[in-house]
Chains A and B, each alone.
Chain A
Amino acid sequence: MFKIVSEEISSGNTSYQILGSSKFTVLNSEIAKLRTEINPSLPNPLTTSILKYLDDQTVIALQCTHEATKDIKNLANWGVIVSPKHPGRKRVSGAFEKFKLESAWGISPHLVPVDSLHSPSGIISLAYQINGINLGAGGFAGMEGHALLAGFTSLENNFAEGLILIWTGYREEFSNCNLDSTNSQILEGYALAITKQKSADTNKRTRAGLNISWNKNAKNPAFVAPLSLENLFQIPDNFQTDWTFQIAINVLADFIPASI
């Protein structure tokens, strides 16, 4: 349903190899367990004082990173970009209630460091000892394409050898349920580990690829589904067919199966 390459998106084009991917869902009620289970598997396990304050979306981002990078030996020169959807709701809710009672004394010093847009990527860079670029992108629902825009800008300009791109969010973020009934809510995460495609590999891909194409003079917006967490979840794990998404008004992302 997304294979509609409509017009002259061709003034720029770049390809990446997908070295790993993962998708993960967890019930809100299971996050506490995941929080402790994930830590021993991290290359640089987090201290308890860091681990216990992580936002839920950072926890699932760590899990997704673990799966997507399991075949990659050295991530030191890689980068990580995370696009969460307004993290921090739980902690902020508590903070506001405490502020009512205790004013400034009730506010956690962890609020800004762990619940901001930059927080998940910072934690992943720490846990995986990634010294390349780490940043948050987007942050609001509907802005998931920002991670890919930031990602291909980084790779095209050699700001990292490879990139872990991660999208996280609650599936029912837009439903009108309040915090008292969130235990059945589903938290989702999707990750890709990509590197620049070597030119010699172009016609004989042993791995699935991601092609980004753009045309700054495109006359009409391409009629293609937007890149979103929901749409990413529809891609089969083995990328056996082409999937195309729009990531900006004149930029498309094509997921391409391996050719052999």
Chain B
Amino acid sequence: MDEEIWITGVGVGCPMGFSLAEFSKLLLEGKSAVRKVELFDITNHPSQIAAYIDEVPASKKIPNETFRSRSKAEQLYIHCMGQAIADADIEKELTRKNCGLLLGTGSDWLLSWEENFFLGGDNYKLPGRETAPYFQFAKDLYQIEGPVLQVSTACASANHSLIFGANWLKMGLVDICIVGACSINVTPITLASFGNLRALSRRNDAPEQASRPFDKGRDGFVLGEGGAIFILEKASHAKNRRASCHGKILGGGFSSDAFHPVIPNPDTSQIEIAIKNALNNSQTNLDAVDYINAHGTSTPVGDAGEANAIRNVFANQFRNIPVSSIKSMAGHALAASSAIEAAACLVALQQQAIPPTINLENLDPACDLNHVANTTVEKKLKRVVSNSFGFGGSNSCIVLGKA
């Protein structure tokens, strides 16, 4: 049997808080972080609301002036990575090549071109002016020397990074692996593109009620941003240095719809395969699943599809398994969403409490599940499942365990 993979450090930065403790508090209080966008002119934007970060807290690692000279996405990586490294107390290990970095992403260059464009630049026109990926500054700052991998499966990216990272440890490629994702998404072009795609909620006059997964009145997702970074180690490595365990990565599974670049397949068999693969990979019986953190974006088609897949996989057990979507509070952080949701799963496992789906007032019959609606529920939790699906038809599912 494979050795356990422990999560020994966590760093969080999102509109719901800049530490696991802050995030945990708002999450279990059921507080929405969605509000009117005030970062830029939102005239003509079909969706004018988001869950966004005003300012990333300064880092003690570098002078404030240097920190503020970096882009918000780079600041977020510095914050989350620094917090996770400090939490795991592994900084002295990081100049070794046996520490890997495996991150999920969307498309850093598109955002860096946009950032530069709004500062009056034209980097997008001139090949060779691409800046480094956003994680690079933090990687250099912490002198991470081992293998580096950046993967993208759109909104499922971070799940892939966590599962791949756990496998790098099992394969013996590294002894420590830094995984997760950070994503700054609330920008004029991204908000406009998703808005014009009709993917976003237009409930502009009631921001806090706009993200309502599984509710009859849902009308699209709310753009979010943020990130979470995790330090992974084999249990033996962690025990040798007396590290504490936040939770365990027990396994994961993937599949592809092969149906449409954007639209989820109404035939949910591939989602079901991803969940089944994750359960098999983690040797988890159906009745051992204590909670499902749903992808639950608040889109009409996506939520109904996911609910159908959960019902099909868990059959007559589905009513015993509580389900919630924290996107109702945190919005949809795209490539980083499954990192933030993995942090939410750790909160649930540590606090033995399930964060709710807020705004779930009128359940869509097509989304019939055992929902944790509007209020946190206390429950003994040992194994939890987190689903994430992305554009391009990528489906992912991760199984996390209690420390």
Contacts and interface: CB of A to CB of B under 8 A. Distances in A.
A127 to B, nearest CB: 9
Given A134-B256, A216-B175, A118 B125 contact: no
Given A107-B196, A131-B256, A250 B150 contact: no
Contact of B167 (A99, A157, A216): A157
Interface in A4-58: 11-12, 44, 50
B137 interface: no
Nearest to B396: A133
Contacts of A109: 193-194, 196-198
A116 interface: yes
Interface in B98-130: 98, 105-110, 113-114, 117, 124-128, 130
Interface in B355-403: 390-394
Nearest to B168: A153
A123 B260 CA distance: 8
For chain B, give the interface size range.
35 or more
A125 B127 contact: no
B192 A137 contact: no
Interface in B150-179: 150-154, 157, 160, 164, 167-168, 170-175
A105 B97 CA distance: 48
A139 B254 contact: no
A12 B110 contact: no
Contact of B147 (A88, A92, A170, A249): A249
B276 to A, nearest CB: 13
A103 B43 contact: yes
A133 B254 contact: yes
Interface residues of A, number: 74
Given A104-B188, A109-B197, A116 B110 contact: yes
B150 A143 contact: yes
A170 B174 CA distance: 33
A218 B97 contact: yes
B41 interface: yes
A140 interface: yes
A58 to B, nearest CB: 10
A248 interface: yes
A128 B393 CA distance: 13
Contacts of A112: 106-107, 110, 190, 193-194, 197, 391
Interface string B247-281: 00000001111111110000000100100000000
Given A132-B255, A250-B146, A214 B173 contact: yes
B127 A173 contact: yes
B127 A175 contact: yes
Q: Is the interface of B mostly helix, strand, loop or mixed?
A: mixed
A125 B132 contact: no
B168 A135 contact: no
Contacts of A249: 97, 145-147
A118 B392 contact: yes
A173 B127 CA distance: 5
B285 interface: no
A175 B107 CA distance: 22
B46 interface: yes
B348 to A, nearest CB: 26
B189 interface: yes
B195 interface: yes
A159 B264 CA distance: 21
B174 A216 contact: yes
B127 A107 contact: no
B191 interface: yes
B151 A174 contact: no
B261 A117 contact: no
A235 B107 CA distance: 29
B45 interface: yes
B57 interface: no
Interface in A223-240: none
A112 B189 CA distance: 9
A250 B43 CA distance: 51
B393 A134 contact: yes
Given A137-B152, A216-B173, A150 B164 contact: yes
Interface in A111-132: 111-119, 121-123, 125-126, 128-132
Contacts of A118: 106, 152-154, 157, 390-392, 394
B393 A126 contact: yes
Contact of B125 (A93, A103, A108, A132): A93
A136 interface: yes
Interface stretch (A176-184, A186-194, A198-206): A176-184
Contacts of A140: 108-109, 130, 132-133
A88 B125 CA distance: 11
A146 interface: yes
B172 A176 contact: no
B316 interface: no
A4 B242 CA distance: 40
A131 B258 contact: yes
A130 B256 contact: yes
B107 A104 contact: no
A153 B171 contact: yes
Given A12-B171, A130-B256, A107 B193 contact: yes
Contact of B261 (A105, A119, A146, A176): A119
Interface of A: 11-12, 44, 50, 79, 86, 88-89, 92-93, 95-96, 99, 102-105, 107-119, 121-123, 125-126, 128-141, 143, 146, 149-150, 153, 156-157, 159, 170, 172-179, 214, 216-218, 248-251
Interface of B: 41-46, 97-98, 105-110, 113-114, 117, 124-128, 130, 132-133, 145-154, 157, 160, 164, 167-168, 170-175, 188-198, 254-262, 270, 273, 390-394
Given A88-B109, A117-B106, 11 more contacts: A95-B189, A103-B192, A110-B197, A112-B193, A116-B107, A118-B391, A130-B258, A133-B256, A136-B152, A149-B149, A179-B125
15 contacts: A86-B130, A89-B127, A92-B113, A95-B193, A111-B189, A117-B106, A125-B258, A126-B258, A139-B105, A153-B171, A214-B173, A216-B174, A218-B97, A248-B149, A250-B147
